[in-house]
Structure 1
């Protein structure tokens, strides 16, 4: 089921005068209650907004909430059901807002709570639900709690909210264990006592400005219940939970040496003492009960980087999260056998626990799939892509594969996530000047890893406007490449061959056929091992991941990721065919 309250012809209910904003918002809040088993999040297409890079209304070069409000019409036009906003809370911005100083206020960089309320009302008025990003593994070191902890003595209750430990060695000069930060370097920082002597150490799985909470302390859980209710009471439709597989650490904090080729968030490693511990599930069972008190099928989505689909599915059992990002799918290369396997496993594992499969190809932490799918060398998650990275992508091949991969993905049953700008075919920005980079990974590894700035460059709206329409002044917190002009939304909107047109048509047909609520049947077209083919209802989907064109079966081609020569499906292409 789609969540939009548009008419069948695409008319927006508010714009048409059929319903006012309050009526639409209240309908959104209650729509799931009358349809057990058909909650909106089971089939929704959710669009990730990275606020600082989406639209800048103030002109300071950083995107903001008012900018988002001004561009919601474009998302209605695109045809998404919901938006997920990366953090906009008060923050020193050491990690682009994932270092939160106040979870219940808006950072002035992005506006105010009034701006948030206005954005939420406008989104709901357009039939678009709003999910906000919550960061429960760690706070900013400027959070009031951590400042109180630093001022307190070892063993004080204020320190028990975080993970403080005495050091090892004769004088405590060695870190409590050997854990490494996701961003590079040690995961421990030593404090200084009031008298200037070295003090205890605190754990930070990410930057040193992001101390980890101690979730064994009930006070932490109580505080996050307050935070959840603050935003639920304002009307948000759910939460994307950052580092959802973290929070609980193994008893005793044992040493651990990760696989050097593993992704930084642990998706390739088993038995990591700070990822995927059993106790974390009790946290989400409590959160599930809190959300169940509110009308409208509020949703929890887990960012849980785990090695297998089966392990990921543990986060979405019926009394825990509602969705979990399918990172095994995101990390699958453009290969028919591997795609078939991960899709099959996903459609087995997630429904087995009563959850929808979710599909995602890009987000703010990974190389954009228009580049990633054309890499010819290993590129572990979190390392990023820069001018000296091995296996540089071919832009033409990357875009063709990205369009084909999205065409395949949006035909799959379940819920799908899009990352801002992918509907424009944006590639990773590889050639950012070193001086412009801001990701903590770049600094903590002394430039060894480029980090995630390349997927976070502000997106283009108009070809000839300052900052390509991102801001009125031409300011942009990361520099935009010249190619953004031809990739702008305005340049693509009337072009039948553009990536934007492809996304709009795929989403419209997905909604019309209710593909998210459908079921998948694999089809053997006898076209070789490089072809992925399946039916979803009366739609046949064919994708060619090989090195040679293949002959398409009979039937009307409804949509294609690229040009088709007669009945030949070129390499790196996918089609939707009306099944006989």
Structure 2
């Protein structure tokens, strides 16, 4: 029997933007718990929760001060336990974020290291170094921060510490055995609480090149484009994940780990999911592929081949909390510029049409699918947030990631005709303002409506379980120029028109579902541009 995670549909929840039960304008764990039946009815297999740990929130919870407790902003450990129990009652699994590359600068280890000064053993758990220059006034090397500026901050006693992200996020030194020991106990804490797995933040960044050598040239790193570097995708990370896999395998129910791993090639990413390492790795190369038939087919083939070589399933995703929503991104000329970049205005009708087609394509591919909250509603990127509302820590920096990730993090609409659209109980403002146009995109407005994006997702997720199996391979079929067609198993075909013109071809069978209008007359199908159709053949 196939392992559940090999073809699972996993729904990402960004806790502060999903559901607010206590009315403070920020989503919370009780809010998520109250909406779990919606996710069961949507048809997903698991939820992935972005960080809810104790945190100063310098980077929306990815700066963790205590990995074993819940930030009061989101609730309590008992709330987390109750959420997990309720999810399991609904046959939903729960995956939680783990942030092992760096902590908050408010973590007790880092605070004690600062207090004790140079020579403190606790400084060895991070990357503290003396500076260069005659007075130590220069950073220890030339590494840039992904969020802009240097990757080093000087403290009062003159030493510097490394932070590949914000200055409030000092990097752990994974060469120190105490760091490895600590995270093994953190894994067990949450596994004992009942979680079904972990999404590993910056999984490629834990190990740095020995000696922290200079890059040797001016570099500006971006979250989704760091290329070859001395601090990412070092071979030493794989020993860490082998030790984690042994822990995961001790627990019943197939607990898993998925890597947020950026690497120069698909084969390098596949190294993270070898049989004795992690279970899945995000396929960000696919996420950045242009909406063009040749590019899509090549990326699908390359992705499947790279993962098949190590016996792992391929993952597919189009949106998450770090990238421009695919309703906008797929309409932009350079879709590779997708994370933190200032999005441009697009035709929202055309954008939604293309996004729906892309989503239906994704859900037909072999492997596991990751959905981002709100995409099942067809939410667009919010491009006009006022500067004073933005909270991305990179927004006010001059270089590096541009800081426009807030546009995909706006709280989702549930009901009603005015903001916050049922996000909170008392009608007060949400932590990021929602657009006026979102009334027509709410769950309430789309529920049970034929042809709505929510209805399309529900139909597709139901069909996904019925019409092909996880083991069914993808077999390409001949198709007109600009069109992709493939079979999964003996009775299913997916056809996608990525060209600018309507496509005419012999209908292979009966229409199961489609992202837009499809006509079949006298055995000939007419498929409009930016439309995907599933067939029973």
TM-score in terms of structure 2 length: 0.96
Where do 1:226-241 residues align within 5 Å?
226-241=185-200
**What are the Cα deviations for residues 262-281 of structure 1, in whole angstroms up to 9, with x where unaligned?**
87135461x21111000011
Is the 1:299–1:321 Cα contact (8 Å) retained in structure 2? yes
After alignment, is 371-380 or 81-90 more displaced? 371-380
How many angstroms does 1:378 deviate by? 6.1
Q: Distance in 1 between matches of 2:266 and 2:400?
A: 33
Where do 1:93-104 residues align within 5 Å?
93-104=57-68
Where do 1:203-214 residues align within 5 Å?
203-214=162-173
Is the 1:187–1:206 Cα contact (8 Å) retained in structure 2? yes
Q: Distance in 2 between matches of 1:504 and 1:177?
A: 51
Where do 1:180-199 residues align within 5 Å?
180-193=144-157, 199=158
Where do 1:36-435 residues align within 5 Å?
38-193=2-157, 199-256=158-215, 264-267=222-225, 269=227, 271-377=228-334, 380-386=337-343, 389=344, 392-435=345-388
Unpaired segments ≥5 residues, structure 2 = none
**What are the Cα deviations for residues 12-66 of structure 1, in whole angstroms up to 9, with x where unaligned?**
xxxxxxxxxxxxxxxxxxxxxxx4xx21111100000000000000100000000
How many angstroms does 1:189 deviate by? 0.2
**What are the Cα deviations for residues 397-441 of structure 1, in whole angstroms up to 9, with x where unaligned?**
211111001111101111100000000001110010111000011
How many angstroms does 1:346 deviate by? 1.3
Partner SS, residue 254 of structure 1: coil
2:389 corresponds to 1:436? yes
Query: Relative to 1, partners in 2 of residues 1:259 and 1:78: Cα closer, same or farther, differing over 3 Å?
Result: farther
How many angstroms does 1:178 deviate by? 1.2
After alignment, is 531-540 or 234-243 more displaced? 531-540
After alignment, is 200-209 or 338-347 more displaced? 338-347
How many angstroms does 1:448 deviate by? 8.4
2:502 to 531, 543, 549: 549
How many angstroms does 1:244 deviate by? 0.3
How many angstroms does 1:517 deviate by? 3.3
Unpaired segments ≥5 residues, structure 1 = 1-34, 194-198
How many angstroms does 1:148 deviate by? 0.8
1:571 to 500, 525, 529: 529
Q: Distance in 2 between matches of 1:492 and 1:119?
A: 26
2:450 to 475, 491, 496: 496
Q: Distance in 1 between matches of 2:137 and 2:513?
A: 63
Is the 1:90–1:106 Cα contact (8 Å) retained in structure 2? yes
Q: Distance in 2 between matches of 1:517 and 1:62?
A: 41
Q: Distance in 2 between matches of 1:433 and 1:99?
A: 24
How many residues are paired up?
A: 530
Q: Distance in 2 between matches of 1:94 and 1:272?
A: 26
Query: Relative to 1, partners in 2 of residues 1:96 and 1:204: Cα closer, same or farther, differing over 3 Å?
Result: same
How many angstroms does 1:160 deviate by? 0.5
After alignment, is 461-470 or 305-314 more displaced? 461-470
Q: Distance in 2 between matches of 1:318 and 1:423?
A: 33
How many angstroms does 1:242 deviate by? 0.1
How many angstroms does 1:153 deviate by? 2.6
Q: Distance in 1 between matches of 2:339 and 2:451?
A: 33
Q: Distance in 2 between matches of 1:123 and 1:422?
A: 21
How many angstroms does 1:533 deviate by? 1.0
Is the 1:463–1:484 Cα contact (8 Å) retained in structure 2? no
Partner SS, residue 117 of structure 1: helix
Is the 2:10–2:45 Cα contact (8 Å) retained in structure 1? yes
How many angstroms does 1:552 deviate by? 3.5
1:560 to 499, 514, 517: 514
Query: Relative to 1, partners in 2 of residues 1:110 and 1:429: Cα closer, same or farther, differing over 3 Å?
Result: same
